């Protein structure tokens, strides 16, 4: 329950129709198993105490009494469990019968949410037995007044994010399901007790419905369906259950089986999504029932990707890369058309970022039906340039058929250093930035001379760390990589290589194998001596930190905990902590560079444009954000 993580369970027992004693034993056994495995919320199927397929037996006093006795037994048997248990049963009151979910915590009956929409079509005829739930009412059960009906939210005193509401089967399949109001009222989890029969194609539709509902509500959705033991007189029930979180399926049962599925959901993540969206207005007339569960440490059993910006599935990755390149190219093509420029100018170093910028420019020109010669690629060797990167830049320009210029800036930088009194043997920040600013001046002046504009090459990871020379490579007229993190730059370039051949493919593959470097310090034995990741840390770590810090507003402690899981066996705890502290420090100290960024296309959900997704004062303190 720490850091907003909560383990939930969906449990489908094998039952016998109308045998409440048998069903109760099965429910108690699964509740105990789920709680022992760390689940704090366990959801059972619709009418699981009696069975869903009792038909006219629901009207019999004997069955209703047996169901009530079973509920009492379940409450007694689970009172020592540190979990909320939700089970389905019929509840009679004032001449009506309601299809209810009993919410139980440590032996106490918290409430009886009831089904609002009663299906009465095709194979369903529940109106024959049940009455649709109205607003919350109360009834006496086991000597205590208990609320039942609609519009009920349950909230944990010890972990306020642990807020859930309940709907039952058909409620989800309607134009205005109760979960919408429950979510507006603050429920981050929706539990659905269901008895959904199987027909051809229904499983796919059911999955789509649950996934899309969890996405629309920024919620976790626990869907538990009836299975083995229900009557097969006319229907078959498969026990198709799933746990979704904001559109993602975290766990799904195999159909036609019984048992328990688990998932560790992130309630802080969901809460941030709602705050960020700012569209969850409060709902009126909701009854809030509070309960207490002790906080407990959870050993997470949740997949945490090392590369949150990059899809794990190869097919999805290829599709994503194609989409991203198209978005980048479309943005650039539109800007070229709007400004009516004759050329676009790119500083081509032979490194990853400038290579991706050239790829995007080529795609933009092809998209616009323009000559690739309108792209002017400029390599500007100086003190740190290696033969390897310079050669790759030349090969790229030739292979893509763009205009190419080789301008050695050593003399101009040397003259500048003489003017300002900078020693050529002093490899300080002035030595490095002087080269970067000279390159930017050359590009800008070529753009002026040819009626064009400069395309920026810097990426999102560099912007986050401030790894750019202010008023040097920090500046351009359109920054095509501004929302592409370094880990994704590599995959986009690899995607282009996979769709290339010959000399171009070889050059792209060699660029992928080249250490990331600004090449501002003299080479050592002809090889790159200045490696960025030796100085600021591994980009895969920084991209991980960036994603969870900006996208979900997680604390440094939570990011550290997740990183230890994601990078287990690759980086030790001290290394992760060291670079996380570096990330926080640099992210805050370098905001002034992001406050005056050039235009660039938004591609993903994490961007740092001051005109778009990220607004932050340049003098904000990082004191409360670090470890």
CATH number at 94 reads 3.60.110.10
In DSSP terms, which residues pair with 404 in a beta bridge?
377
pLDDT at 519 (0 to 100): 63
Q: Which residue has the tokens 């207005």?
A: 281
Average pLDDT, the chain: 94
Please tell me whether residues 18 and 80 are part of one structural domain: yes
Find the mean pLDDT for residues 256-274.
Answer: 96
pLDDT at 457 over 80: yes
Instruction: Give domain status of residue 557, yes or no.
Output: no
Among candidate residues 46, 126, 496, 540, the one labeled active-site is: 46
High-pLDDT (> 90) share of the chain, % = 86
pLDDT in tens, 35-65: 999 999 999 999 999 999 999 999 999 999 9
Burial code of 551-564, b = ≥16 C-beta within 10 A, e = fewer?
bbbbbbebbbbbbe
Same domain, 371 and 509: yes
- Mean pLDDT of the 322-343 span: 97
Boundary residue ending a domain (493, 518, 534) = 534
Burial per residue of 445-468, b for 16 or more beta-carbon CB atoms within 10 angstroms, e otherwise: ebbeebebbbbbbbbbbbbbbbbb
Same domain flag for 151 and 209: yes
pLDDT, residue 311, reads: 86
Tell me: pLDDT of 530 over 70: no
Asked if residue 321 and residue 280 are part of one domain, the reply reads: no
pLDDT band at 1; cut points 50, 70, 90: low
**514 — pLDDT class (breaks 50, 70, 90):** confident
The beta-strand segments (E) located in 142-272 are: 144-149, 152-156, 163-168, 189-194, 220-225, 242-245, 248-252, 259-266
User: For strand 375-379 and strand 343-347, is the pairing parallel, antiparallel, or unpaired?
Assistant: parallel
- Position 218 scores a pLDDT of 96
Residue 573: inside a domain, yes or no?
Answer: no
Pull the structure tokens for residue 217. Answer: 């509500």
Rounded CA-CA distance 139/291 in Å is 19
Shared-domain flag, residues 286 and 319 = no
Our answer to whether residue 115 is catalytic in this structure is yes
**Close Cβ partners of 380 (under 8 Å, ≥ 6 residues apart):** 347, 407, 408, 409, 438, 439, 442
CA-CA distance, 20 to 11, in Å (whole number)?
17
The pLDDT of residue 518: 64
Strand order in the sheet with 5-12: 137-141, 144-149, 108-113, 96-105, 84-93, 41-43, 5-12, 259-266
Least confident of 95-104, 212-221, 511-520: 511-520
User: For 302-312, what is the mean pLDDT?
Assistant: 92
The answer to whether residue 376 sits within a structural domain is yes
* Lowest-confidence segment of 224-238, 270-284, 488-502, 580-594 by average pLDDT: 270-284
> Does a structural domain hold residue 559?
no
46 belongs to the catalytic site:
yes
Q: Is 119 inside any structural domain?
A: yes
Question: 388: which residues sit within 8 A by CB, 6+ positions away?
Answer: 350, 510, 514, 527, 528
Instruction: Establish if 241 belongs to a structural domain.
Output: yes
Strand partners, 558: none
What is the structure's pLDDT at 223?
A: 98
Instruction: Check whether 86 has a pLDDT greater than 60.
Output: yes
- pLDDT for position 33: 98
- Give the mean pLDDT of 456-478: 95
Out of 140-144, 352-356, 483-487, which region has the weakest mean confidence (pLDDT)? 140-144
Residue 73 is among the residues annotated as catalytic for this protein: no
3-state helix, strand, coil split of the chain in percent (to 5) is 40, 20, 40
Single out the residue in 500, 519, 534 at which a domain terminates.
Answer: 534
Q: What is the predicted pLDDT for the residue at 485?
A: 97
333 in a structural domain: yes
Same domain? For 221 and 320 the reply is no
Single out the catalytic residue among 20, 100, 115, 181.
Answer: 115
Structural domain count, the chain? 2
- The model carries a pTM of 0.91
Which ranges constitute the DSSP H helices of 516-572?
A: 532-536, 539-552, 556-566
Is it the case that residue 520 has pLDDT exceeding 70? no
Distances (CA, A) of 530 to 33, 274, 306, 391, 466: 56, 43, 25, 18, 17
The residues, ordered by sequence, that sit 6+ positions from 35 with a Cβ below 8 Å of its Cβ are 42, 78, 81, 82, 83
Residues 95 and 201 in one domain: yes
With a cut of 60, say whether residue 575 has pLDDT above it.
yes
Residue 446's CATH number: 3.40.50.620
Task: Indicate if 35 and 170 belong to the same structural domain.
Answer: yes
Range of the domain at 462: 314-534
- Read off the pLDDT of residues 362-403 as tens digits, 9 standing for 90 and up: 999 999 999 999 999 999 999 987 888 889 999 999 999 999
Q: What percent of the chain shows pLDDT beyond 70? A: 98
Tell me: do 238 and 98 sit in the same domain: yes
End position of a domain, from candidates 514, 534, 554? 534
pLDDT at 529 over 60: no
Instruction: Given the residues 54, 169, 244, 321, select the one marked as catalytic.
Output: 169
Q: Does a structural domain hold residue 300?
A: no
Mean pLDDT for 327-353 is: 96
324 and 274 belong to one structural domain: no
| Same domain? 227 vs 339 | no
Say what the pLDDT of residue 134 is.
81
pLDDT at 11 (0 to 100): 98
Q: Which of 462, 455, 466 is nearest to 483 (CA)?
A: 462
Q: Are residues 349 and 444 in the same domain?
A: yes
Confidence band for 528, pLDDT divided at 50, 70 and 90 = low
Does residue 15 surpass a pLDDT of 90? yes
């Amino acid at each position: 329950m720490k850091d907003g993580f909560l383990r939930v369970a969906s449990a489908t027992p094998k039952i016998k129709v109308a045998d409440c004693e048998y069903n109760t034993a099965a429910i108690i056994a699964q509740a105990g198993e789920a709680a022992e495995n760390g689940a704090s919320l366990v959801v059972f199927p619709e009418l699981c105490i009696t069975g869903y397929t009792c038909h006219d037996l629901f009207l019999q006093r004997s069955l209703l009494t047996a169901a009530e006795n079973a509920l009492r037994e379940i409450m007694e048997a689970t009172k020592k469990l540190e979990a909320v248990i939700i089970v389905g049963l019929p509840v009679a009151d004032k001449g009506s019968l309601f299809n209810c979910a009993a919410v139980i915590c440590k032996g106490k009956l918290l409430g009886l949410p009831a089904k609002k929409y009663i299906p009465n079509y095709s194979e369903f005829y529940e109106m024959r037995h049940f009455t649709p739930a109205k607003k919350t009412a109360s009834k006496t059960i086991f000597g205590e007044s208990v609320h039942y009906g609609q519009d009920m939210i349950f909230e944990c005193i010890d972990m306020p994010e642990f807020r859930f509401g309940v709907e039952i089967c058909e409620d989800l399949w309607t134009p205005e399901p109760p979960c919408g109001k429950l979510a507006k009222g603050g429920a981050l989890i929706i539990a659905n007790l269901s008895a959904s029969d199987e027909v051809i194609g229904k499983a796919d539709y059911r999955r789509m419905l649950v996934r899309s509902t969890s996405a629309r509500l920024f919620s976790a959705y626990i869907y538990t369906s009836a299975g083995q033991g229900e009557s097969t007189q006319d229907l078959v029930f498969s026990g198709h259950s799933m746990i979704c979180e904001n559109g993602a399926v975290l766990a799904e049962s195999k159909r036609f089986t019984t048992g328990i599925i688990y998932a560790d959901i992130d309630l802080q993540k969901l809460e941030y999504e709602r705050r960020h969206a700012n569209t969850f207005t409060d709902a009126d007339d909701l009854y809030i029932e509070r309960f207490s569960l002790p906080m407990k440490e959870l050993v997470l059993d949740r997949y945490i990707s090392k590369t949150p910006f990059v899809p794990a599935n190869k097919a999805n990755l290829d599709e994503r890369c194609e989409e991203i390149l198209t978005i980048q190219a479309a943005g650039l093509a539109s800007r070229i058309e709007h400004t009516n420029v004759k050329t676009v100018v790119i500083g081509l170093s032979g490194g990853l970022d400038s290579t991706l910028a050239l790829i995007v420019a080529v795609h933009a020109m092809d998209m616009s039906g323009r000559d690739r010669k309108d792209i002017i690629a400029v390599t500007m060797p100086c003190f740190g340039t290696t033969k390897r990167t310079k050669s790759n830049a030349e090969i790229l320009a030739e292979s893509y058929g763009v205009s190419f210029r080789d301008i050695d800036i050593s003399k101009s930088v040397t003259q500048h250093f003489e003017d300002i009194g900078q020693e050529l043997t002093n490899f300080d920040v002035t030595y490095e930035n002087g080269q970067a600013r000279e390159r930017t001046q050359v590009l800008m002046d070529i753009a002026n001379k040819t009626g064009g504009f400069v395309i920026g090459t810097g990426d999102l990871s560099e912007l986050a760390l401030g790894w750019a020379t202010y008023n040097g490579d920090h500046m351009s007229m359109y920054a095509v990589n501004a929302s592409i993190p370094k880990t994704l730059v590599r995959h986009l370039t690899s995607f282009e290589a996979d769709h290339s051949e010959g000399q171009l493919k070889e050059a792209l593959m060699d660029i992928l194998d080249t250490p990331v470097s600004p090449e501002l310090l003299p080479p050592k034995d002809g090889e790159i001596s200045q490696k960025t990741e030796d100085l600021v840390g591994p980009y895969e770590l920084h991209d991980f930190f960036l994603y969870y810090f900006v996208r979900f507003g997680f604390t440094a402690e939570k990011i550290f905990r997740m990183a230890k899981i994601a990078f287990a066996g690759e980086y030790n705890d001290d290394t992760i902590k060291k670079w996380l502290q570096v990330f926080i420090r640099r992210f805050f100290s370098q905001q002034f560079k992001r406050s005056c960024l050039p235009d660039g296309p938004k591609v993903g959900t994490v961007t740092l444009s001051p005109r778009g997704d990220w607004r932050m004062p340049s003098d904000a303190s990082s004191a409360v954000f670090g470890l």
